[in-house]
Structure 1
Amino acid sequence: MTRFVLVAGAWLGAWAWEEVAAELRAAGDEAHPLTLSGLAEKRGVPAGLETHVRDVVEEVGRLGPRDVVLVGHSYSGIPVGLAAERIGDRLRRVVFVDANVPVAGQSFLSGWPSEPVREAIATHDGFWPPLAADDFAGQGLTEEQVRRIVDGATPHPGATLTDAAAPRRSPAELPATYVKCLLDGDEPMPAVAELLGSDRWELVETDTGHWPMFSRPRALARILREAAAVR
């Protein structure tokens, strides 16, 4: 039995993992979806990047002494990656699902044309407003799946996106699996490509879009279980 802690990306909460969690539990594993501060049912809680790192570390502590597989999707790859190095031998593996990774001195908004996001944060009281339905085109989602995401999304605390990461060691030292969703681009981002040169990292590709917990929950659960078995 594997214990998974599941953390979704921007705008989303624990609810986004409902189908994946059900698949993992049906296979006999533990699944613990986590809502980060400031989102979903925790909306209104002040949050920066360090807050989200602590959210993950505290959840692992709450679960007791057994090891865990941390799963970070999209934005959450940064706080999950930072948390992974802090939990020591409690970590079995970290899985980055089409995710950003922590890079020293860089934030989620570093390294890509993010000025429109910065402007949106500035004009929406410090929050990044959720995407509209049209923004999910080409990501392998049904209309119903898009509606679920849009209806459940909440504004994302902007400070978590602009705070710079400060990893204590290179993420290349972590036992890691990177899941690349091919409908969101054929190649991992440069920071990920560099880490994939480590013999502790593996790459798994899946033919779906950036939100596989909605578009391919069963396939994603299988990928997570297979990643957990890598030694």
Structure 2
Amino acid sequence: MTETFVLVPGMWLGGWVWDGVAERLRAAGDKAVTVTLAGVGERVGEGDADLEQHVADIIAAARGHDNVVLVGHSYAGLPVTAAAARIPVSRVIYVDSGPLPDGTRQLDMGPPPESTDPVPSRPWDQASDPVLLAGLDEEDLALLRKRATTHPFGSVAQPLRRGGTLTPPASMIACTFSLEQIAAMRAAGHPFFAAVDDDMVIRSLPTGHWPMLSEPAGLAELLRA
């Protein structure tokens, strides 16, 4: 059965970051739709989009396709969770992310912001951030520095509201956390894994936080599996 993978990037990056994965999915016979969220990437001039706008972007990208698989990386786990509750999809896959509970804000997962301006991109300095940037070569890092943009503040400040009741099968691909670390964090009640149930399939792809660049072949294989 041919599936349509709707690939949603995390903060600062446009749909281009999925190109290597999308190419492999299409070569294997599936469809792939890469999404650039409002206010990011080539859409950076569209203003201070909020989380609901990003949910709408994902729903629009999925419209008209059959056997849709929503894939959310990092921040995109928030709008993907809401979109999956509102439209019929075959399954949901979280990449170094998870099905966070209602009321969660991306803003709460890091230090308090200094302003309500668009969130600046990270410096992409592997020496100061070796864990998250593991697996990226100099070409990858140069591409990130060139193409990353600011991210709209409204989207990280607005709490998640599913606004629906659909519960498609969900799975997780963990890159910067080992399966043992995830089990320990779940047992400790860590909020990042609060909505992960015992039936969720979790697969490991040991690399940095951007596996679509560091391990595109391995990521495409796991998405199809």
TM-score bin (small chain): 0.7 to 0.9
1:215 partnered with 2:204: no
- Match of 1:5, SS state, is strand
Alignment TM-score, normalising by the size of structure 1: 0.85
The match for 1:132 among 99, 123, 129 is 123
Q: Deviations over 1:26-56 (max 9, x none)?
A: 1011010010001111111131000000000
* Root-mean-square deviation (Å): 2.1
Give distance in 2, aligned partners of 1:3 and 1:107.
Answer: 28
Aligned pairs (5 A) from 1:47-196? 47-61=49-63, 64-88=64-88, 91-110=89-108, 112-115=109-112, 118-119=113-114, 122=115, 126-134=117-125, 136-138=129-131, 139-168=134-163, 173-182=167-176, 187-188=181-182, 190-196=190-196
Q: Deviations over 1:64-83 (max 9, x none)?
A: 15120000000011001110
Report the counterpart of residue 229 of structure 1 in structure 2: none
The answer to whether the 8 Å contact 1:196/1:203 transfers is no
Give distance in 2, aligned partners of 1:220 and 1:161.
Answer: 26
The answer to whether the 8 Å contact 2:100/2:193 transfers is no
Gaps of 5+ in 2: none
The answer to whether the 8 Å contact 2:86/2:162 transfers is no
Amino acid at match of 2:76: S
Give distance in 2, aligned partners of 1:33 and 1:79.
Answer: 15
- Following superposition, the deviation at residue 101 of structure 1 comes to 3.3
Gaps of 5+ in 1: 227-231
Identity %: 38
Amino acid at match of 1:131: R
The answer to whether the 8 Å contact 1:4/1:31 transfers is yes
Give distance in 1, aligned partners of 2:82 and 2:13.
Answer: 19
- Match of 2:83, SS state, is helix
The answer to whether the 8 Å contact 1:39/1:155 transfers is yes
Structure ranking higher in helix proportion: 1
The answer to whether the 8 Å contact 2:176/2:207 transfers is yes
- Following superposition, the deviation at residue 186 of structure 1 comes to 6.2
Give distance in 2, aligned partners of 1:184 and 1:145.
Answer: 24
- Following superposition, the deviation at residue 92 of structure 1 comes to 0.6
